[in-house]
Amino acid sequence: MADVHHQVEQFLYKQADLLDRKQWQEWIDLFTPDGVYWMPPEPSHKTWEGMPAIFAEDRNLMTVRMNRVLHPDAWSQRPLWETNHVVSNVVIEKSSPKGITARSRFHMMELRRDDVRHFAGSYTHHLVKAKGGYKIKLQRVDMTNAQAAYDYVLQVWV
Amino acid sequence: MLQERSADLSRSLSGYVEPDRVRREVYNDPQIFELEMQRIHERVWTYCGHESQVPKAGDYYTMQIGRQPMIMVRGVDGKVNVLYNRCPHRGNMICGDRHGNAGEFFRCSYHAWTFKHDGKLRSIPMDSAYAGTRFGKSNPDCDMKRAARVENYRGFVFASLANDGPSLREFLGEAIVAFDDMCDRSPEGKVEVVPNCFRVIQHSNWKLFLENQLDALHPSVVHQSTGRAAHNVEKELAKKAKKGETGLKYHMLSAFATVTIDKWDDFQTLNYPGGHSVLTGYMGLRPQDPDTLAYDKIMIKAYGQKRFEEIIGVNIHHVIVYPGLSVQSPLQQLRAVRPLGVDRTLTEIWHFRLKGAPEAIYRRSLAYYNLVNSPATLINADDLENFWKCHQGLASDGGDWVSFGRHFGHDVEKDGHVESAPKMGTSEAPMRGQMKAWSEYMRG
Helical residues (DSSP H) of A21-153, grouped into ranges: 24-28, 59-70
- Contact of A64 with chain B, judged by CB distance below 8 Å, is answered with yes
Q: Is B2 helix (H, G, I), strand (E, B) or coil?
A: helix
pLDDT of residue A39: 98
The rounded distance, in Å, linking the Cα atoms of A123 and A30 is 15
Decide if A52 is inside a domain.
yes
Question: Contact B375/A54, CB-based, under 8 Å?
Answer: yes
User: Could you tell me which residues are beta bridge partners of residue B338?
Assistant: B346
Q: How far is B216 from chain A (nearest CA, A)?
A: 18
What whole-number distance in Å separates Cα of residue B88 and Cα of residue B139? 11
**Which of B350, B382, B383, B387 should we substitute to test contact with A (largest number of A Cβ atoms within 10 Å)?**
B382
Q: How far is A4 from chain B (nearest CA, A)?
A: 33
Q: Is residue A157 part of a domain?
A: no
What is the average per-residue pLDDT within B399-423? Answer: 92
The reply to whether B100 touches chain A by the CB within 8 Å rule is no
Domains annotated for chain B, with CATH where assigned, are 46-160 (2.102.10.10), 174-216+267-442 (3.90.380.10)
Helix (H, G, I), strand (E, B) or coil at A120: strand
Instruction: Tell me whether A150 touches chain B (CB under 8 Å).
Output: yes
Is the CB of A76 less than 8 angstroms away from the CB of B369?
Answer: no
Is residue B390 within 8 Å of residue B24, measured between CB atoms? Answer: no
Which residues partner with B123 through β-bridges? B114
φ, ψ for residue B7, nearest 5 deg: -65, -45
Predicted local distance difference test score (pLDDT) of residue B266:
87
Pick from B414, B328, B433, B442: nearest CA to B33: B442
Q: How many CB pairs under 8 A join A and B?
A: 104
> Does A97 reside within a domain?
yes
Alpha-carbon dihedral angle through residues B424, B428, B432, B437, given to the nearest 10 degrees: 90
| Residue A154 included in any domain | no
Three-state SS at B423 = coil
Query: What does the pLDDT look like over B352-397, one tens digit per residue?
Result: 999 999 999 999 999 999 999 999 999 999 999 999 999 999 999 9
Asked if B197 and B48 count as a contact pair (C-beta separation under 8 A), the reply is: no
- Closest by Cβ to B200, choosing from A61, A67, A149: A149
Nearest residue on chain A to B226, judged by CA atoms? A68
Query: Which chain A residues touch B359 with a CB distance below 8 Å?
Result: 50
Residue A1 has pLDDT above 90, yes or no: no
From chain B, the residues in CB contact with A51 under 8 A are 366
User: Cβ of A39 under 8 Å from any chain B Cβ?
Assistant: yes
Whether residue A130 lies within 8 A of chain B, CB to CB, comes out as no
Q: What pLDDT, on a 0 to 100 scale, did the predictor assign at position B257?
A: 85
* CA dist list (Å): B107 to A73, B63, B86, B123: 53, 19, 11, 9
Full residue range of the structural domain in which residue A107 is found? 2-147
Write the residue in B230, B346, B376 that is nearest to A149 by C-beta. B346
- Nearest residue of B to residue A145, measured between CA atoms: B375
Select from A71, A78, A153 the Cβ nearest to the Cβ of B376. Answer: A153
- Rounded to 10 deg, the angle between the B380-394 and B206-213 helix axes is 130
Interchain contact A120–B (C-beta under 8 A):
no
Q: Do A150 and B366 touch (CB under 8 A)?
A: no
Question: What's residue B67's pLDDT?
Answer: 96
Run of H or E residues at B110? none
> How many angstroms separate the CA atoms of B86 and B145, rounded?
8
How confident is the prediction for chain B on average, in pLDDT? 93
- Which residue from B minimizes the CA distance to A49? B363
Statement: residue B224 has pLDDT above 60: yes
From CA B430, how far away is CA B444, in angstroms rounded? 22
Cβ count near B278 (within 10 Å): 27
Does residue B46 carry a pLDDT above 80?
Answer: yes
> First and final CA of chain A: distance in angstroms?
28
User: What are the beta bridge partners of residue A50?
Assistant: none
Q: Where are the beta strands (DSSP E) in B317-379?
A: 318-321, 325-328, 333-341, 344-354
Residue A158 domain flag: no
Average of per-residue pLDDT values in chain A? 95
In chain A, the residue whose alpha carbon lies closest to the alpha carbon of B368 is A52
**Within a domain: residue A119?**
yes
Å from A151 to nearest chain B CA? 5
CATH value at residue A21: 3.10.450.50
What percent of chain A lies above the pLDDT cut of 70?
Answer: 99
Which whole number is the average pLDDT over B201-214? 96
The answer on pLDDT for B3 being more than 60 is no
Q: How many domains does chain A have?
A: 1
pLDDT value at position B285?
A: 62
Instruction: Give the least confident one: A15-24, B224-233, B301-310.
Output: B224-233
pLDDT at B167 over 80: yes
Chain B residue numbers with beta carbons less than 8 Å from the beta carbon of A56 are: 370
pLDDT above 60: residue A144: yes
Evaluate if residue B242 carries a pLDDT over 90. Answer: no
> Do A85 and A59 form a contact (C-beta atoms < 8 A)?
no
Model confidence at B243: pLDDT above 80: no
Q: Which of B219-228, B230-239, B249-258, B280-289 has the lowest mean pLDDT?
A: B280-289
Share of chain B above pLDDT 70, in %: 96
Whether A3 contacts chain B with CB within 8 A = no
The DSSP letter of residue B52 is G
User: How far apart, in whole angstroms, are the C-alpha atoms of residue A7 and residue B438?
Assistant: 62
Predicted local confidence at residue A37, as pLDDT:
98
Q: Which of B96-100, B319-323, B422-426 has the lowest mean pLDDT?
A: B422-426
Task: Nearest by CB to B378, from A52, A53, A65: name it.
Answer: A65
Give dist(CA A16, CA A108) in Å, integer.
9
CA angle A48, B230, A140 (to 5 degrees): 25
Domain-located, residue A156: no
Q: Which whole-number Å values give the CA distances from B159 to B48, B83, B272, B337, B346, in the listed order?
A: 7, 10, 21, 14, 18
pLDDT at B342: 97
* B382, closest residue in chain A (CA to CA): A76
Question: What does the pLDDT read at residue A77?
Answer: 86
In this structure, are residues B292 and B365 in contact, taking their beta carbons and an 8 Å threshold? no
Q: Give the type of residue at B419.
A: E
Cα separation of B367 and A144, whole Å?
23
Predicted pLDDT at B1: 46
State whether residue A75 sits within 8 Å of chain B by CB: yes
CB A105, CB A128: distance < 8 Å: no
Give which of A19, A75, A80 to mutate to test B binding, by max B Cβ within 10 Å.
A75
Interior/surface letters B181-194, b for 16+ CB within 10 angstroms, e for the rest? bbbbbbbebbbbbb
Say how far apart CA B404 and CA B390 lie, in whole Å.
14
Mean pLDDT computed over B216-223: 90
Q: Which residue of A has its CA nearest to B352?
A: A52
- Which has more pLDDT, B9 or B300? B300
pLDDT digits (tens, 9 = 90+) for A108-125: 999 999 999 999 999 999
Nearest to B408 by CA among B436, B389, B386, B387: B436
pLDDT value of position B4: 57
CA B61 to chain CA centroid, nearest Å: 16
Partners of B346 on chain A (C-beta within 8 Å) are 149
Q: β-strand B268-271 against B417-419: which pairing, if any?
A: antiparallel
Residue B291: is its pLDDT beyond 70? Answer: yes
* Chain B environment of A61 (Cβ under 8 Å): 371
Whether pLDDT at B329 is above 50: yes
* Structural domain contains residue A105: yes
Residue B5: the pLDDT is 62
Say if residues B344 and B335 touch (Cβ distance below 8 Å).
no
Closest by CA to A119, choosing from A146, A94, A140, A98, is: A146
Q: Is A50 in Cβ contact with B376 (below 8 Å)?
A: no
pLDDT for A9-60, tens place per residue? 999 999 999 999 999 999 999 999 999 999 999 999 999 999 999 999 999 9
